[in-house]
Amino acid sequence: MNLLRLSWRMLLREWRAGELHALSFALLIAVGGVTAVGFFTDRVNQALTTEASQLLAADLALVADHEVNSEFISEASQRGLTPVRILTFPSMVVSATGNQLAEIKAVAPGYPLRGKLRIQSGESERVAEGIPDPGTVWLDDRLLAQLQLAPGDSLELGAARFQVAAVLSFEPDRGGGLFSIAPRLMMNAQDLPATALIQPGSRISHRTLLAGHPREIAAYRAWAAPRLARGEKIEGISDARPEIRSALERGGKFLNLAALTSLILAAVAIVLSARRFLERHLDGCAVMRCTGASQKQVFLLYLYQFLWLGILASLAGCLLGYGAQWVLARQLGGLIAAGLPAPSWTPLVYGLLTGLATLLGFALPFLQRLKRVPPLWVLRRELGGPQRINLAGFAAGVGVLLAMLLWQAGEIRLGLYVLGGLAAVVVVALLLTHALIRLLAPLRHKVGMVGITWRYGLANLVRRRHASASQVVALGLGLTALLLLTLVRGDLLHSWQSTLPVHAPNRFIINIQPDQVKPLQVFLGSHDMAAAELFPMVRGRLLAINGRAVSAADYAEDRTKRLVEREFNLSWAERLQDDNQIVAGRWWEKRSAAAQWSVEEGIAKNLGIKLGDELTYQVAGQSFSAKVTSLRKVDWDSFRVNFFVIAAPALLEAYPASYITAFYLPAGDEALLNEMVRTFPNLTVIDVAALMNQVRVMMERIASTVEFVFLFTLAAGLMALYAAIAATREERMVEAAIMRTLGASGRQLLLSQMAEFILIGLLAGAVASLAATGLGYVLATRVFHLPYAFNPWLWAIALAVGVLGVTVAGWLGTRGVLRQPPLQTLGRLG
């Protein structure tokens, strides 16, 4: 007997009989969902990466304080990575009316490799084509104002003369340290020799920008990393601005969460459908065994059927997913400015493998049970029925799922949290269901205490104990996913976006002299910019920790080395800023507090500073020591002024300080700045509005893509819910038809079904609210690092949706029975 051919014929037969529709549909939707999410997140991730690379003006940058070895350049060219070199250095710029220190950026044709420059010449602001022509330069408006120049005027830079051709209004890669930004002059690298500014010993930053296929970029990075010499380093997209990095990471996590959830929901739907398949085939299998088929033959027969089905449904699912992601991409519209790149083929492979692996992983335990059905089953159901499904049988399925999760998410932690949450939901649901059934079971014998309909509902719940428990599990999981997707997601996205408040400061003022503090506050106050807090800033250098001298050589990380080598900004304060949080020790409460330090936890970790350590600083030529009495957590996303190291007033008050402040300047109020600069000519104003806008737009885009992806996961959740209801639908219809025969009225039928549905819905709602609360908390605090806000609505909504959803779905499912003659429901009588 050719089992493979026979299995195919049986599959066709089963298909015609409608036996496999539900299972195939679940699998198709699941694979469709997974691939759509896969395709889509793949494309969105690519697009997001593109956007992030604009902040670097490249995909990768090689940064050095000297000219890099030419092998780096030739290797990049060989790999087709189009290297473009740019140099930046500080220099004085001289005009007819004065001179000003500026940051010069000499660029070569091709710059920027990612993103666009914008310039203003005449009235219109537009995207620049190319770079400044030789002999001309572009200045930002700050430098233009300081030198009192206008386009068309000329200026001197080093030994050369240049004509100002345009105002430089936007550079994609104008990131860098906020406080080191001097006004900008951009020139053509060809003109560099003429300026004679490139001399040995001058402070020049050499950047080599690279762009190309992600694979090549990664390969180049791997090639270059071990060859880096002192003073050379590589910056990738993820090394770009930390705000962007955390936005990208969080966005990626949201998308992955969506994909993971849809995968799990798929597994739920498969388990439910496979279980139903098992129940309907026990008889057939037993008959086959009676007629002489071996266990192995029976098993293979069904295994092959499932393989056929898995391949076909997964392929169809991949097609569906491919189609769906186009729709998704279309819905996204112009949200991603960079445009979505063409989908790659990986999600297709992934979808196929996921479909097959999930189907087999979760259906095999049922098939195995099918194979063990004793022939005697035909005669006596209660005797030697196949053993119950061993939960351990799903270990393979869960393993497959886990592997898929890790592959897709690439994040063990997120995967484990989601799986752990899932396991907890299953256990809690089973425990709750069995506890409730045990509690309620005696009620069914107490005539008079509960009506016939409730007793009947209860009886059904008790008899279908295992089916009911798995329904509660599935419904609970589905509801959990829906809750996570709607409420918790909303909360998470909201608290993420609120990390960058609408009126976050967009201008920084530095260089404020102590005697200007009061007048400036008055000035700002009179222009409705009250509450602007001014922070003292004292330049200091860390000399020793616990008496042991620190040196750059003790630290591996470049950033840390730099922190140790240079002076950096210290501050003193009486009050703790409200976006700071003490994580160890205590904040001094009084102005008169003894000399002590408070250190930001991140830098404390990098520098190896612990609570109670004694730090020796040198300020203005004097050195002094004090103990660290607290470690702080700082919200760097807030765009507010913050300091790594803060002293109690007593420690630093006496030293010369300048002040810094940040405030929100509404768009259109720029005239105020001119007035301020006239009143306080020495102040330097730094504009971070454009930068913040970039961050905000990015956040919004990520949030809306996430919303779209979640929408799809929502459909997968509904599928799981549907499978849960459908699992017992036919059984219910038959029972309803029998009750009809015995004279039950429509009302009685409905009530008896409702009783069971309400109990199941309540249980599922309770399980889901527990799970969503717990998972929401864990996700917020552990994975997304956002503050968690408990949402009491979650419980109300979960219970209401559980009861209403299940009852309405159940009612829709059995409603037909009420209008149909019983025999038509029962089908042919034997």
Partner 1 sequence: MQARSLSRQVPVSDGVLTILHHLDLEIASGESVAIIGASGSGKSTLLGLLAGLDLPTSGEVHINGENLFALDEDGRAALRGRLIGFVFQSFQLLPALTAIENVMLPLELAGTASARELALSVLQRVGLGERLHHYPKHLSGGEQQRVAIARAFATQPKLLLADEPTGNLDSATGGRIIDLLFELNREQGTTLVLVTHDAELAARCGRRLRLVDGHLVAE
Q: Shortest approach of partner 1 to residue 734 CB, angstroms? A: 8
CA distances from residue 277 to 272, 274, 280, 417 in whole angstroms, order as listed: 9, 5, 5, 31
Judged by CB under 8 A, does residue 820 bind partner 1? yes
Closest of 211, 189, 200 to residue 86, by C-alpha: 189
Q: Residue 681 or 743: which CB sits closer to partner 1?
A: 743
Which are the contacts of 189, defined by CB distance < 8 A and separation ≥ 6?
A: 85, 86, 87, 106, 107, 108
Place of tokens 């010369």: 656
Q: Residue 215 or 819: which CB sits closer to partner 1?
A: 819
Judged by CB under 8 A, does residue 738 bind partner 1? yes
Judged by CB under 8 A, does residue 464 bind partner 1? yes
Closest of 748, 604, 772, 665 to residue 261, by C-alpha: 772
Q: Residue 219 or 443: which CB sits closer to partner 1?
A: 443
Q: Shortest approach of partner 1 to residue 733 CB, angstroms? A: 13
Judged by CB under 8 A, does residue 819 bind partner 1? yes
187-195, 271-279, 541-549, 814-822 -> range binding partner 1 (CB under 8 A): 814-822
Asked if omega into 132 is within 30° of 0 (cis), the reply is no
Q: Residue 463 or 605: which CB sits closer to partner 1?
A: 463
Cα distance between residue 472 and residue 116, in whole Å = 54
Judged by CB under 8 A, does residue 307 bind partner 1? no
Q: Shortest approach of partner 1 to residue 387 CB, angstroms? A: 17
Closest of 492, 423, 481 to residue 801, by C-alpha: 481
Cα distance between residue 366 and residue 360, in whole Å = 10
Q: Shortest approach of partner 1 to residue 456 CB, angstroms? A: 8
Place of tokens 């295994």: 303
Judged by CB under 8 A, does residue 290 bind partner 1? no
Q: Which of 741, 789, 793, 796 binds partner 1 (CB under 8 A)?
A: 741
Judged by CB under 8 A, does residue 460 bind partner 1? yes
Judged by CB under 8 A, does residue 745 bind partner 1? yes
Q: Which of 123, 129, 382, 515 binds partner 1 (CB under 8 A)?
A: 382
Q: Shortest approach of partner 1 to residue 826 CB, angstroms? A: 7
Cα distance between residue 220 and residue 62, in whole Å = 11
Positions in 583-602 near partner 1 (CB under 8 A): none
Place of tokens 């109690």: 648
Judged by CB under 8 A, does residue 743 bind partner 1? yes
Place of tokens 């300026």: 195
Q: Which of 1, 681, 742, 792 binds partner 1 (CB under 8 A)?
A: 742
Q: Shortest approach of partner 1 to residue 443 CB, angstroms? A: 13
3-state secondary structure of 254: helix
Q: Which of 238, 679, 781, 824 binds partner 1 (CB under 8 A)?
A: 824
Cα distance between residue 801 and residue 804, in whole Å = 5
Q: Residue 122 or 830: which CB sits closer to partner 1?
A: 830
Phi and psi for 120 in degrees, rounded to 5? -130, 120
70-78, 151-159, 563-571, 738-746 -> range binding partner 1 (CB under 8 A): 738-746
292-300, 460-468, 472-480, 643-651 -> range binding partner 1 (CB under 8 A): 460-468
Site track for partner 1 across 419-458, x = CB under 8 A: ----------------------------x----x---x--
Q: Shortest approach of partner 1 to residue 275 CB, angstroms? A: 17
Q: Shortest approach of partner 1 to residue 816 CB, angstroms? A: 11
3-state secondary structure of 258: helix
Judged by CB under 8 A, does residue 755 bind partner 1? no
Buried b (16+ CB within 10 A) or exposed e, 802-814: bbebbbebbeebb
Which are the contacts of 767, defined by CB distance < 8 A and separation ≥ 6?
A: 425, 428, 429, 432, 472, 473, 476, 479, 480
Q: Residue 408 or 453: which CB sits closer to partner 1?
A: 453
Q: Which of 255, 735, 757, 802 binds partner 1 (CB under 8 A)?
A: 735
Positions in 29-48 near partner 1 (CB under 8 A): none
Q: Which of 213, 227, 381, 610 binds partner 1 (CB under 8 A)?
A: 381
Residues in the chain: 830
249-257, 500-508, 709-717, 730-738 -> range binding partner 1 (CB under 8 A): 730-738
DSSP sequence for 747-815: HHHHHHHHHHHHHHHHHHHHHHHHHHHHHHHHIIIIIS-------THHHHHHHHHHHHHHHHHHHHHHH
Which are the contacts of 714, defined by CB distance < 8 A and separation ≥ 6?
A: 481, 482, 485, 486
Contact 768, 802 (CB under 8 A): yes
Q: Residue 203 or 819: which CB sits closer to partner 1?
A: 819
Cα distance between residue 649 and residue 592, in whole Å = 7
Judged by CB under 8 A, does residue 744 bind partner 1? yes
Q: Shortest approach of partner 1 to residue 793 CB, angstroms? A: 36
Q: Which of 198, 378, 672, 826 binds partner 1 (CB under 8 A)?
A: 826
Q: Where are the beta strands (DSSP E) in 145-214?
A: 154-157, 160-170, 184-188, 205-210
How many residues of this chain bind partner 1 (CB under 8 A)? 32
Judged by CB under 8 A, does residue 462 bind partner 1? yes
141-149, 271-279, 580-588, 820-828 -> range binding partner 1 (CB under 8 A): 820-828
Cα distance between residue 384 and residue 381, in whole Å = 8
Q: Shortest approach of partner 1 to residue 446 CB, angstroms? A: 11
Judged by CB under 8 A, does residue 353 bind partner 1? no
Tell me whether strands 614-619 and 622-634 are parallel, antiparallel or unpaired: antiparallel
Judged by CB under 8 A, does residue 822 bind partner 1? yes
As given in the structure block, the two tokens for residue 103 are 């940051």
Q: Shortest approach of partner 1 to residue 731 CB, angstroms? A: 8
Interface residues toward partner 1, by CB under 8 A: 381-382, 447, 452, 456, 459-460, 462-464, 734-735, 738-746, 748, 818-824, 826, 829-830
